[in-house]
């Protein structure tokens, strides 16, 4: 009986990890579509929960531009993922679209 419990626990953890990956991939795709490729190159989703997203933006100019669109972006994320809050903040961008920031 203990073996079945262990197997089920492992399977459930794997399913949760896969689901989170799909949500993040979908959220990144929606982000790029909503803000455009130029703004997406200067921003990155760094944290995603079931109802919140945190986005790093690499300059204050882009942070301002994205903050002007925040309400529209938030409405679309709510429709797609039931995400209620998007926090935009200045921060480092690690990778964009499979390339490092220096290559963009």
CATH of the domain at 11: 3.30.300.180
90 or 23, higher pLDDT: 90
DSSP element (H, E) containing 75: helix 70-81
User: How many domains are contained in the chain?
Assistant: 1
Which domain, by its residues, includes 7?
2-103
Instruction: Read off the pTM.
Output: 0.70
pLDDT digits 0-9 by tens, 4-46: 778 777 766 665 554 555 588 899 999 999 999 999 999 999 9
């Amino acid at each position: 009986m203990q073996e079945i419990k262990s197997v089920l626990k492992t399977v459930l953890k794997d399913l949760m990890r896969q689901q989170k990956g799909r949500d993040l991939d979908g959220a990144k795709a929606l982000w790029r579509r909503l803000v455009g490729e130029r703004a997406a190159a200067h921003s990155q989703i760094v944290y995603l929960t079931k109802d919140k997203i945190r986005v790093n933006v690499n300059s204050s100019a882009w942070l301002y531009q994205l903050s002007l669109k925040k309400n529209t972006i938030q409405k679309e994320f709510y429709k797609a993922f039931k995400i209620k809050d998007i926090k935009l903040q200045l921060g480092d961008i690690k990778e964009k679209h499979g390339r490092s920031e220096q290559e963009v």
